[in-house]
Amino acid sequence: MNYSLIINGQETGKDLEQAEVTNPATGEVVGTVPKGGQTEARQATDAAFEAFKTWSKLSAYERTEKLAAWAKLMDEHTDEIAELMTREQGKPFEEAKGEVKYANGFFKWYAEEGKRIYGETIPATTANKRIFVHKQPVGVVAVITPWNFPAAMITRKVGPAIASGCTVVIKPANLTPLTAIRMVQLAKEAGIPDGVVNIVTGDSKAIGQEWMQDMRVRKLTFTGSTEVGKELMKGSADTVKKISLELGGHAPSIVMDDANFDKAVEHVMSAKYRNAGQTCVCINRVYVHEKIADKFAEALAEKSKQLKVGNGLEEGVNIGPLINEDAVKKVEKHVQDAKDKGAKVLTGGEKKEGLFYEPTVLSGATDDMLCMNEETFGPLLPITTFKTVDEAIERANDTDFGLAAYVYTSSINTGIYIAENLEYGIVGLNDGLPSSPQAPFGGFKQSGIGREGGHHGMDEFLEIKYISLDLA
């Protein structure tokens, strides 16, 4: 299947060189996409800039009605999009379906919230003055997304952007562009005017560079690695763009001895192995109170052994392939390093044929191991022990990242104490899956800038205008 760029509502790029998108489970070609570059990126900006003039002037009701129509089509095409996602990204089909539903949750929520972009009036110092605060869309938004959530990373940016009156130019990840293109095709079918949502695939650097230097692009919203995020932040400085960055994480999970044991095991499992460990909120290190550590580690190893690894389109598969060779090598490196430094492999620890890696549980992890400091982005679960709450908090905070953290305890006081002292943007308190369309997702420290989801996520696409009226 040959996919196209979509610029100003037109499918284009057939004349360009084409890039193959492969299935990480089988190596088969899933489809091709055009290798766009600076020219196509600029054409997309031209289209978005023109479309902004009319789209931003529609009423919130007119805009959100179109977004709701897009959401309806997404619902109708859930299985089709999920299957495409499994083919290009690898995650098990049921999980892919879950992602499409989660992704569409952003469209649905912002199709409502777009009607509630309220302003303010503020009491003035003198009787003759009035202070009004308006919010208006920032303009053309560049959206650059990663491969681990091919649908959700698009919708949680594009939903609030277009609901607020912005228009967008999207560059999806080169490894997983097909899901994104399919969704943008549906935008046209839903009646979203040409030019409001544009998508360009190809040379990441050239496309990014073009959008960064263009003054008409007023906002950049990016999810991906910290390294590329920093580059984009620097690149956006010359035109002083608004920026939102969702970057890497290194999520700790703190398990107290009074935690509901079975629930904590179950949640650590799901928060670790979702997408084969390839999400920025996946647990990277588990701190278990020494009193229950051995039992907890055994339970995790036992459950991990039961996970079925394989092609995500096969029935009953829990863990799909990793995205590419580099991803597999990183897990191998982290496991080897941990073994060299004294960790014990309770289960797994081996690569399988192709891009598959066994779910792996390590006990005796120490703070100097690579896996305790760098994002593994794979099915590796290192476990370490602690004695006191403050020790656990200090070690959990000892990182440049600050995206998600998890806490398990039956004591409200302990739970709130730990949650308040963790330097993380998201804390799952007895909750292994905190992400949700109506809540603000984002990180402290080098995990990012800005929030996605909820009304906070809408504000990222709005400028504040203060109108001062003198009646005298």
Rank residues 162 and 245 by Cβ distance to ligand ADP and give the closer one.
Answer: 245
Among 8, 225, 373, 438, binds ligand ADP (CB under 6 A): 225
204 contacts ligand ADP (rule: CB under 6 A)? yes
- Minimum CB separation of residue 202 from ligand ADP in Å reads 9
44 contacts ligand ADP (rule: CB under 6 A)? no
> Which of the residues 40, 246, 375, 460 is marked catalytic?
246
228 contacts ligand ADP (rule: CB under 6 A)? yes
Q: Give the dihedral sign, CA 355/281/271/291.
A: positive
At 102, phi and psi to the nearest 5? -60, -45
Q: What does the DSSP assignment read for 141-188? A: EEEE--SSSTTHHHHHHHHHHHHTT-EEEEE--TTSHHHHHHHHHHHH
**Region of 133-141, 228-236, 361-369, 419-427 interacting with ligand ADP (CB under 6 A):** 228-236
Of residues 126-155, which lie at the interface with ligand ADP (CB under 6 A)? 144-147
Largest CA distance in the chain: 79
- Minimum CB separation of residue 389 from ligand ADP in Å reads 33
Q: Residues 245, 233: contact at Cβ < 8 Å?
A: yes
Q: Is 353 an annotated catalytic residue?
A: no
Q: Which amino acid is at 322?
A: L
312 contacts ligand ADP (rule: CB under 6 A)? no
Q: Which helix (H) or strand (E) holds 157?
A: helix 152-163
Among 85, 173, 276, 369, binds ligand ADP (CB under 6 A): 173
Tell me the β-bridge partners of 202.
Answer: 36
Q: Name the token pair of 91.
A: 């995650």
Q: Is 246 an annotated catalytic residue?
A: yes
Binding flags for ligand ADP, 423-442, as an x/- string (CB under 6 A): --------------------
| Total site size for ligand ADP, rule CB under 6 A | 15
Q: Name the token pair of 53.
A: 């003039």
Tell me the β-bridge partners of 316.
Answer: none
Among 34, 36, 37, 224, binds ligand ADP (CB under 6 A): 224
CB-count burial class (<10 Å; 0-12, 13-18, 19+) for 309: middle
Task: Please tell me the distance from the alpha carbon of residue 142 to that of residue 376, in angstroms, as a whole number.
Answer: 28
208 contacts ligand ADP (rule: CB under 6 A)? yes
> Which of the residues 166, 280, 282, 371 is marked catalytic?
280
Q: Residues 243, 219: contact at Cβ < 8 Å?
A: yes
Q: Cα–Cα distances in Å, from 6 out to 180, 197, 295, 405, 446?
A: 11, 8, 54, 38, 33
Rank residues 67 and 200 by Cβ distance to ligand ADP and give the closer one.
Answer: 200
174 contacts ligand ADP (rule: CB under 6 A)? yes
- Minimum CB separation of residue 146 from ligand ADP in Å reads 3
Among 65, 194, 231, 337, binds ligand ADP (CB under 6 A): 231
Task: Please tell me the distance from the alpha carbon of residue 106 to that of residue 115, in angstroms, as a whole number.
Answer: 14
- Minimum CB separation of residue 381 from ligand ADP in Å reads 20
At 402, phi and psi to the nearest 5? -165, 50
Which residues here bind ligand ADP, judged by CB under 6 A? Answer: 144-147, 171, 173-174, 204-205, 208, 224-225, 228, 231-232
Q: Which residue numbers are catalytic?
A: 246, 280
